[in-house]
Amino acid sequence: MNITGDYSYRLLEDTPENVRLFNDFVAAHPKGHVLQSWQWGAVKQPAWQPLHLVLEKDGAVCAAALILQRKLPAGLGNIFYSPRGPVLDIDDTALWRAAVAAVRALAKERGAIYWKVDPDIDIDLAAAETWRARLKESGFVPAGQGEGFEGVQPRFVFRLDINPTVDELLAACHQKTRYNIRLAGKKGVEIVTAAGREALPAFYRILTTTASRDHFLIRPYSYFERFYDNLHPAGLCELFMAYYEGEAIAGTLAFRMGDKAWYIYGASANSHRNLMPNYAIQWTMIEWAKAQGCTMYDFRGVPGHVPEDHPLYGLVKFKKGFGGKYTEFIGEYDLPFKPGKYKLYNFLEPIYQKNVRRLINLKKRLKGGK
């Protein structure tokens, strides 16, 4: 459909050609992200319906957005969410306005009450101010930050430039980090890259142990099957496992798209933690990312600036030890299409989430006999 004389937009049907077209654009873009890939939309089904929007000029794709659509209860309508999107050149004012116009048209067709975005934009970049200006101009409002790492996607991460040589990267690590990386190898810890789907059950068992030990919730095993089965065949994820004397003692999942890699899930068993498998497996992932031609490695979420006595400071210290840069994104923004329903949803959603957490905690206590 035409938006202006220069731009047209369309939703892509699920064909091999369209998957390649969409992913090739996202992978090549400086701010493309695996959470904007075609396959990520498949992972989020059936709770979310993926819409693959592209804008074109003179027959070439110039913007893309994976829009996840979810139906709300009580006849409130639908919501749109573009994780780490949209993907476009924000300096092109006409393109930005055309993209917003395209999503507004889709929202009208599909009864969406708002569109949430959280672009992959570091607040320290010159582009951050341009993004904020464009968002404000188009009617977006800053979204209330969630719990945990302050957003649906982490607002704070550590990122590592992996352009230097492996030796230079290792030398840039904290002295204790280098020691722990080497300790695992000396003690006989074996790291397996591309462990394969057959290792997924062992990874999930360790993840369950980690969640119980560190008191956080995890998704069901079926989610990780869907995760692996959609992303791995497309070359967008890899499973790493650490073994000691044949026993699986740690595991991680990594994303890769274009010249970027992300650490996404990690787990460690209660046994043999003194062998420091988490350090060795993380370093193996960095080496793997570099071998794949990546130039950026993202350690994913950490809490915001916290003191050393904070319960999660250990996580910050662990990731910081590899020499990465503490990075804060501009955060989440919502574009309300139906302000009344948007306000009602924002009032009701926290109440719903609070009650869900209460129910989960009650089930855990009952299961534990407490």
Torsion angles phi and psi, residue 49, rounded to 5: -100, 120
Confidence of residue 215 (pLDDT cuts 50, 70, 90): confident
Domain regions of the chain by residue span: 8-149+330-367, 163-294
pLDDT higher at 258 or 73? 258
The CATH number, out of the four listed (3.40.50.2300, 1.10.3080.10, 3.40.47.10, 3.40.630.30), of the domain defined by the range 163-294 = 3.40.630.30
Task: Give the residue-averaged pLDDT of 41-64.
Answer: 97
- pTM for this model (two decimals): 0.91
The neighbour count for residue 187, using CB atoms within 10 Å, is 14
5/3 Cα distance (integer angstroms): 7
pLDDT higher at 137 or 354? 137
Q: For the range 84-87, what are the long-range contacts, defined as Cβ-Cβ under 8 Å and sequence gap of 24 or more? A: 84/33, 84/35, 84/36, 84/118, 84/119, 84/120, 84/153, 85/33, 85/35, 85/36, 85/117, 85/119, 86/36, 86/53, 86/117, 86/119, 87/25, 87/26, 87/29, 87/31, 87/32, 87/33, 87/36, 87/63
- For the structural domain made of 8-149+330-367, what CATH number should be given? 3.40.630.30
Query: How large is the angle between the packed helices 221-231 and 200-214, nearest 10 degrees?
Result: 130
Which tens digit of pLDDT belongs to each residue from 234-272?
Answer: 999 999 999 999 999 999 999 999 999 999 999 999 999
The neighbour count for residue 317, using CB atoms within 10 Å, is 14
Mean residue pLDDT of the chain comes to: 91
Fold match flag (8-149+330-367 vs 163-294): yes
Q: Say whether 190 sits in a helix, a strand or coil.
A: strand
pLDDT attached to residue 297: 98
Structural contact between residues 241 and 251, judged by C-beta atoms closer than 8 angstroms: yes
